[in-house]
Amino acid sequence: MPYKLKLLAAALSSAMLMACSSEPAPLEATPPAPAHVQANLDTAKNAMLEKKAIAAAQAERDTQAAREAEAARDAQEQAYLQDVQAQQQVQVAPAPTYEAPRAPISPNAVFNDFLAKYVSEVNGINLVAYDKVTPADRAALNGYIQKLSAMNIEALPRDAEMATWFNLYNAKTIELILENYPTKSIRKISTPWKKDRLLVNGKKMSLDDIEHGTVRKKFNEPRVHFAFNCASIGCPNLKITAWEAASLEADLAQAAADFTASERGVHVRENGEIVVSSIFKWYKNDFGGSEAGILSYLRSYATGPKKAALEAAKDIKKFEYDWHLNIR
């Protein structure tokens, strides 16, 4: 190598060694932030620290509440298990059962069933399906008659006595028709009312004994004529339910009003003449003893145009009665 080149290489090598061994120049210090900026930074830092503290406290409370809730559930489950075990170990007596009191059965239930099955209203007249009565229902009717006949009816209170006589009379009349069916009229039967057909409390009795010898004789009550039924079209309606003491007064008043309103009871002709049921003639002494008394009695139950016609009437033109069987 030429001498000059050697000198140049040596100079470069020396310069590089000096650069590597020399310390770097110190950096200039960062100038401090302005006071208002530093204050904002401190506020933000404090707020963040406060939020972290609040969150930590809430997390601790939540954790504590969860532990308490779990402990409460554990206690409830433990108590339930102990209760179940106790019940399994103890013989528990069954709770007493309660049975509602039963309504008393009416002594007239059999008769009511019979009437409901075989009696119906046609054109204002209650008719009986005598030809449809079954042997079983006829036997039940006879049993009902025997039950009433075994009673000491005359010892009953007034309304109960009257109601029982009405039911016995009407039930026996139906049975009399059934015994002699077919027939067009009860009058076709030999001595239907005067023959002893019942043994009531050990005493032989006829239908007349019930109606005239007992009820009419004992009670001063003309409306009994609207309660007894003689199985005829002209008769006051056969009641579609049994007579009961509790409703006797209301039922007698209704029966009197119904018969007066019917054409069988009172008929007003176009010329104003009055035609009345023969019942009022046969038993006029029960209805005032004269035509004037009969008219006065009928006025007390009549309504509307019929009442006006009765008030204008001076006498009764005619009495009539239809003896045809009240068959449906």
The predicted pLDDT at position 68 comes to: 73
Give tens-digit pLDDT for 271-317: 999 999 999 999 999 999 999 999 999 999 999 999 999 999 999 99
Is residue 252 one of the residues assigned to a domain? Answer: yes
Q: How, if at all, do strands 274-277 and 318-320 pair?
A: parallel
Question: Per the domain annotation, does 156 fall within a domain?
Answer: yes
Q: What is the mean pLDDT of the chain?
A: 85
Which residue, among 294, 185, 189, 306, has the nearest Cα to 235 in the 3D structure? 185
pLDDT in tens, 91-126: 444 555 656 556 556 789 999 999 999 999 999 999
**150, 158, 188, 210 from 218: Cα distances, Å:** 20, 10, 30, 10
pLDDT score of 304:
98
Beta strand pairing call for 266-268 and 119-122? unpaired
**Is 58 a member of any domain?**
no
Question: What is the count of structural domains for the chain?
Answer: 1
Domain of 239 in residue numbering reads as: 109-320
Residue 321 pLDDT > 50, yes or no?
Answer: yes
Asked whether 132 and 116 are in contact (CB, 8 A), the reply is no
Residue 78 lies in a domain: no
Q: Which residue has the higher pLDDT, 255 or 55?
A: 255
Residue 6 lies in a domain: no
Give the residue from 190, 195, 264, 252 showing the smallest Cα distance to 226: 252
* pLDDT value for 37: 62
**Residue 61 has what pLDDT?**
72
From 73-77, 85-89, 164-168, the region with the lowest mean pLDDT: 85-89
User: pLDDT (tens digit, 9 = 90+) per residue, 142-187?
Assistant: 999 999 999 999 999 999 999 999 999 999 999 999 999 999 999 9
Angle at which helices 158-179 and 135-149 pack, to 10 degrees?
140
- Residue 106, C-beta contacts closer than 8 angstroms, at least 6 positions apart: 112, 242, 244
Check: CB of residue 196 under 8 Å from CB of residue 205. yes
Contacts of 104-108 spanning 24+ positions with Cβ under 8 A:
106/242, 106/244, 107/147, 108/144, 108/167, 108/242, 108/243, 108/244
The torsion angles phi and psi of 310, rounded to 5 degrees, stand at: -65, -35
Tell me, rounded to whole angstroms, the distance of Cα 145 from its chain centroid: 32
Q: What is the mean pLDDT of residues 28-46?
A: 65
Has residue 269 been placed in a domain?
yes
pLDDT digits (tens, 9 = 90+) for 207-240: 999 999 999 999 999 999 999 999 999 999 999 9
Higher pLDDT, 63 or 162: 162
Q: Give, rounded to a whole angstrom, the gap between the first and last alpha carbons of the chain.
A: 163
| DSSP structure class, residue 268 | E
Whether 18 is covered by a domain: the verdict is no
> Looking at the DSSP assignment, which residues form a beta bridge with residue 276?
266, 319
Tokens 């339930």 correspond to what residue?
A: 80
Q: How is residue 154 annotated by DSSP?
A: G
CA-based max dimension of the chain: 189
Quick check: is 20 in a domain? no
pLDDT score at 43? 75
Percent of the chain scored above 90 by pLDDT? 67
**Mean pLDDT in residue range 257-261:** 98
Task: Residue 244: name the closest of 126, 145, 162, 130 by CA.
Answer: 162
